[in-house]
C-alpha cells in the first residue's frame, strides 16, 4: 500500500458513514489526505465536526451531512448531497454500526430491527441509490466494514453477528451483480479495535471504566488490539486502483484473532 499523500483519490468523491468516530473518522481523514472530497455521514454533529475540522485543517475537502443510516430518507438525502455538492460519486465506505449484546431469547424485537437496519439494510440502501451514480461517474468502489463476527462469534451477539454476516453476503452479491459496470465491492472484517463501539460493548458486558488495551490484549495473538488507522489503511487500499482485481472479498484484519483455536 502506498503511503498517505500519494493522492490516490485525487478528484474522487467518497461518502463515509460513521465518519465522526473510530474507523470511519480515520478513513475519512486518510481519504481526504490523499485527495478525495469526503462526505461525512454521522448522527452526532459534534463528533462529525471534529472530523471535519481535522480534514479542513490540513486543507482537505469535506462536508458533513447529519445522517441516521437506519432511516431510508436520510440515506436518500445523503447520496443526493454528495452529488449536489461535488457533482459526482466515486465511492462509499460504510462504517456506521450499532452494537447489540443479547441472545435471541432476551433480545428486544425493536433492538433486532434497529441493529439490522443500521448495520445491514443501510448497505442495501447505499448501494441502491449510490451505485447508479457511481456507474454514471465511470465506476467506483464500495467498502463495507463488517466484522470478525461475520465468520465466528461469542455469546450474546445474535443481532450483531447476524447483521455482519448478512453484510458480508450482501457484499458478495453486489460485487458480482455490478462488476461489469465498473463497481468493485469488498469488505473488511476487523477484530477488536480501539473505538467507541468496543468501549460500549465492554460496558454492555459489565466491564466498566476498563482500559480497553489492557482488558482485551491477552485475547489477541499480537498482544494488543487494533487501531482505527490500521483498519483505514486497508479500507483505502481496497477503495483505490491498487485493488482493481479484488471484488466480493472479505479481508480479515484482526491481529490473528480468527487464526487461533
Asked if residues 17 and 79 have their Cβ atoms less than 8 Å apart, the reply is: no
Gap between the Cα atoms of 98 and 163, Å rounded: 10
- Which residues in the chain belong to E strands, given as ranges? 13-17, 37-42, 61-66, 91-94, 140-145, 183-190, 250-253
Task: Report helix, strand or coil for 218.
Answer: coil
Looking at the DSSP bridge assignments, the partners of residue 252 are: 189
Q: In which element (H, E) is residue 184 found? A: strand 183-190
Looking at the DSSP bridge assignments, the partners of residue 231 are: none
Helices (H), 95-148: 109-116, 122-136
What is the CA 225 to chain-centroid distance, rounded? 18
Active site (annotated) includes residue 160: yes
Cell numbers linked to 136? 454514471
Catalytic residue among 129, 157, 160, 178: 160
What is the CA 209 to chain-centroid distance, rounded? 26
Sign of CA dihedral 21, 26, 32, 37: negative
Asked if residues 17 and 41 have their Cβ atoms less than 8 Å apart, the reply is: yes
Task: Report the catalytic residues.
Answer: 160
Amino acid at each position: 500500500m502506498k503511503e498517505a499523500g500519494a493522492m490516490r483519490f485525487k478528484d474522487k468523491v467518497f461518502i463515509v458513514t460513521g465518519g465522526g468516530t473510530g474507523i470511519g473518522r480515520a478513513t475519512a481523514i486518510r481519504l481526504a489526505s490523499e485527495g478525495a472530497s469526503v462526505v461525512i455521514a454521522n448522527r452526532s454533529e459534534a463528533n462529525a465536526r471534529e472530523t471535519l475540522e481535522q480534514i479542513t485543517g490540513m486543507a482537505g475537502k469535506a462536508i458533513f451531512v447529519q445522517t441516521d443510516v437506519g432511516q431510508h430518507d436520510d440515506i436518500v438525502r445523503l447520496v443526493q448531497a454528495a452529488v449536489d455538492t461535488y457533482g459526482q460519486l466515486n465511492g462509499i465506505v460504510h462504517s456506521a454500526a450499532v452494537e447489540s449484546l443479547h441472545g435471541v431469547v432476551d433480545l428486544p424485537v425493536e433492538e433486532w430491527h434497529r441493529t439490522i437496519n443500521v448495520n445491514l439494510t443501510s448497505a442495501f440502501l447505499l448501494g441502491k441509490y449510490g451505485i447508479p451514480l457511481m456507474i454514471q461517474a465511470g465506476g467506483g468502489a464500495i467498502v463495507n466494514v463488517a466484522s470478525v463476527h461475520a465468520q465466528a462469534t461469542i455469546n450474546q451477539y445474535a443481532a450483531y453477528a447476524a447483521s455482519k454476516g448478512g453484510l458480508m453476503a450482501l457484499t458478495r452479491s453486489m460485487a458480482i451483480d455490478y462488476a461489469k459496470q465498473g463497481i468493485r465491492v469488498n469488505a473488511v472484517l476487523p477484530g477488536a479495535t480501539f473505538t467507541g463501539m468496543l468501549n460500549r460493548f465492554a460496558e454492555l458486558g459489565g466491564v466498566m471504566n476498563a482500559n480497553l488495551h489492557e482488558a482485551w490484549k491477552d485475547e489477541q495473538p499480537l498482544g494488543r488490539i487494533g487501531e482505527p488507522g490500521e483498519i483505514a489503511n486497508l479500507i483505502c487500499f481496497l477503495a483505490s486502483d491498487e485493488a482493481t482485481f479484488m471484488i466480493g472479498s472479505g479481508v480479515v484484519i484482526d491481529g490473528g484473532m480468527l487464526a487461533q483455536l
